[in-house]
Amino acid sequence: MTDSIIKTKWEGLSIAPATIDLSGAEIELVSAFNRERYLKTAITGIIDNYDYVFIDCPPSIGLLTVNALTAADEVLVPIQCEYLALEGLGQLINNVEKVKTHLNEKLHISMIALVMFDGRTKLASQVVQEVRDHFGNTVCNQVIPRSVRLSEAPSYGQPIIYFDPKKSCRISL
């Protein structure tokens, strides 16, 4: 894992980006011993070198996501302010509980972040209210508005706070 970590030009920020090699990882893990704990084992020797380690996961619940949940202590859930995202959130919570029960008793949802909020739509406000009503203090106070600039930042290889420091989505963070 150490070989995968790259220091960025931003002080204190290192990344371990996905590569094309990761595309076959799910298939390779299927028959591997202790397959749910592969990532946890890989980061055990280096995790103490960092204040925070974020593992970006796909929205599906395959072996890669199970590995991430097994390696993590907390889950930060970004949820789009759209109806179908509510259904996905319910499924994610069920999956987190399963991983907690069977693989990682420390795992918990620490924060839900409301993202891609479009204040022009009534639905977005309804989703925000529904999530806040159901999850209370677990929901971040700020919502992250939908922003073209936020979508563009990754294509320039920059975090939004550097790509567009004056934009409202950056201020929301």
pTM of the model: 0.84
43-52, 73-82, 163-172: range with lowest mean pLDDT: 163-172
Spatial distance between the Cα atoms of 145 and 142, rounded to a whole number of angstroms = 9
Report the C-alpha dihedral over residues 40, 63, 35, 90, rounded to 10 degrees: 70
18-22, 78-82, 110-114, 141-145: range with lowest mean pLDDT: 18-22
Domains, the chain, ranges and CATH?
2-147 (3.40.50.300)
Residue 143 has pLDDT above 90, yes or no: yes
Yes or no: say if 109 and 142 are a contact pair by the CB < 8 Å rule: no
- For residues 123-151, one letter each, b for 16 or more C-beta atoms within 10 angstroms of the residue's C-beta and e for the rest, the string is ebeebbeebbeebeeebbeebbbbbeebe
32-36, 110-114, 120-124, 151-155: range with lowest mean pLDDT: 151-155
